[in-house]
A and B are shown apart, each in its own frame.
Chain A
Amino acid sequence: MLKTEAILPAAQVRETAKGKPKHIFSRALPYLMVAPSLTIFSVFVLYPIFYMIYLSFFKWNMIGPKTFIGLKNFTDMFADPEFWQVLGNSFQYMFFTVVLSVGLALPLAVYLKANTRVNRFLQGVVFTPYVVSLVSISFVWMWLMDSDYGLLNYLLELLHLPAVGWLNDPDVAMYSLITVSVWKSLGYNAMILLSGMQSIPPYLYEAANLDKSSGMTTFFKITLPMLSPTLFFLTLMNMISSFKVFETVNIMTSGGPMNSTNTLVYDIYLYGFSYYKIGYASAMGVVLMIIIGICTIFYFRSLSRRVHYR
């Protein structure tokens, strides 16, 4: 009667000792405790996913009736060069953002590693952009990158370099958005790597020191291998978050010039809220879901490996 459903060993012992039958309520209790959260997740996360997949098979303008059109949204999408451009933009953004923000975070973390007063101060300074609203960051950089009155072009002029159309030049605009993203996330990545480095057991360094290993050798033979799970985890996290980019595109470029900064999320937003092509937008959402899903699988693998590792 009061077998395993029960809960904590101590509770079992107590109730068995008293010989009191377990109340139905205490069996239901854990379910009641997780119910509110799981309701929220089901209604606002899981259901929308399935609804999106469902909608991707329909033609719908949000107001009229839905028409089932099978895979037509997908075949249209794959035949549309604009879709491939947008997909390419998303991967371009992801690639450079991840390489730069993780690649620069590593030397930055090494540089700020020693626990001195100046370093602690700088750690706070480089982290600041991460807590500030992306809206403000977008506007500040839009102003810095203004082609006529912006600070960046003024600094270039001081160095006798030609002005750059940071957000007006289709060949440059994407790299400008990447710069902003790297600037925002660099401090965060560096702090994660820093805490990863601090958890490397000191005896490894002591052993390296006894072997008269040089600083470089120590870095490549101890720090880097010990840090590789953290680096892998960080890379995947940055990949996922770079596919979510929206604010900078929306505020700084609106996807332009000439569609050069239009990314998946922004295009879904346009198709949904400007062109009212819900089915087509949902089909693009399915593509984004598959990309993020693949990253997520690797992410959870890296996460469980990291937990093992320590």
Chain B
Amino acid sequence: MKKRITFTSAGKLVFDVFLFLIFFLPFYWMVLTSIKTMGETLKMPPSFWVSNPQWENFVTAFNAIPFLNMLKNSLIVVFGTLFCQCITVIPAAYAFARYEFKGSKFLFGVTLATMMIPAQLIFLPVFLLFSQLGLINSYWSLILPSASSAFAIFMLRQTFKQVPEELLEAARLDNASEWTILRRIMLPIARPTVVTLALLTFISSWNDYFWPLVLTTNNTVRTLPVGIAALKAAEGGIKYHILMAGNVLLVIPVLAAFFIAQKQVIRAFTYMGEK
């Protein structure tokens, strides 16, 4: 066995708790503040427990912005993006993995290159493009820029490439069409990758603040993150208890997904680093 730097168990315990607090305390503080009264948030020293939780803060946050409408927008954008990515990414990944066609290397190179161009670099021309098309403040402007994903094509192509050739040959001998092969052989084998990528798209699309902020000029299609950020501009200064209540509502779906499928989520995000 290899040697390790040995911590005394007490030292390790102390550091474990320290580490836990650094990463957990901000979230605890968010939840705690969300059920405090305004007076309690302005109290010094602050209290670390609330005996009389103010659930109506959530109602206040809910009513301060068009919450339901923004939730609807978020869901439309998230599932619209997922749907579009399914129909664009899967065939592209299959073609890049399994066909040799003229220019395939070049086209795959273009795909990889687009992966490195962040939204933060091109948002201005994209905004101008959508405004020329008259699509600002429509769902199209929020879904189309991420209707395909170079990263997902890259990952799924890797998975498709690992499927043994014999399986496909056998299927072709049985006169299976390419569509049948994709549906009956490739996709079932690639299922873990597809689920992982879908999870990744769900989380990043749900969390996205930048595109909905720069590609909209009013509330009609704005999503929840933009709405929650608007809580800051409430009358009479920032009310942190309301703001935190809004944020709790925003993070719940993602944290729920994280707790249910922690392993897959970590894998989804660290994929790039592993390969």
Q: Which A positions have Cβ atoms within 8 angstroms of B?
A: 5, 7-11, 14, 27, 29-34, 36-38, 40-41, 43-49, 51-52, 55, 62, 108, 111, 114, 118, 122-137, 139-141, 143-144, 146, 149, 151, 154, 183, 187-188, 191-192, 195-196, 205-206, 208-209, 214-216, 218, 230, 233-234, 237, 240, 244, 246-247, 250-251, 265, 268-269, 272-273, 278, 281-282, 285, 288-289, 292, 296, 299-300, 307
Which B residues, 168 to 195, have Cβ-Cβ distances below 8 Å to chain A?
Answer: 168-169, 172-173, 178
Given A149-B44, A244-B120, A251-B229, A36-B148 contact (CB < 8 Å): yes
Contact call B46/A49, Cβ cutoff below 8 A: no
Q: Give the shortest distance, in Å, between A115 (CB) and chain B (any CB).
A: 13
30 A-B pairs with C-beta separation under 8 A: A5-B101, A10-B173, A14-B173, A31-B101, A33-B94, A34-B91, A36-B91, A37-B92, A37-B153, A38-B111, A44-B126, A49-B122, A55-B125, A122-B20, A124-B262, A127-B269, A128-B27, A132-B255, A133-B206, A135-B229, A139-B232, A143-B240, A144-B26, A149-B46, A188-B270, A209-B2, A244-B118, A244-B119, A265-B121, A288-B120
Measured between C-beta atoms, what is the minimum distance from B141 to chain A in Å?
Answer: 10
Residues of B within 8 A of A (CB): 1-5, 15-16, 19-20, 22-27, 29-30, 33, 41-46, 87-89, 91-92, 94-96, 98-102, 104, 107, 110-112, 114, 116-129, 144-145, 147-148, 150, 153, 165, 168-169, 172-173, 178, 203, 206-207, 209-210, 213-214, 225, 228-229, 232, 240, 243-244, 247, 250-251, 254-255, 257-258, 262, 265-266, 269-270, 272-275
CB of B168 within 8 A of CB of A10, answer yes
Contact A299 to B116, CB < 8 A, known contacts A14-B173, A139-B247, A272-B124: yes
Q: Are B46 and A10 in contact (CB under 8 A)?
A: no
Interface of B is mostly: helix
In the complex, chain A residues whose CB is within 8 Å of the CB of B262: 124
Tell me whether A30 and B150 are in contact (CB under 8 A): no
Closest residue to B166 on the A side, CB-wise? A10
Asked if A37 and B111 make an inter-chain contact with CB atoms under 8 angstroms apart, the answer reads yes
- Residues from chain B with a CB closer than 8 A to the CB of A268 are 124
Known: A14-B173, A278-B124, A285-B122. 13 other contacts (CB 8 A): A8-B99, A30-B104, A31-B101, A37-B92, A48-B125, A49-B125, A51-B128, A129-B23, A133-B254, A183-B22, A191-B266, A206-B2, A234-B273
B116 to chain A minimum Cβ distance, whole angstroms, is: 4
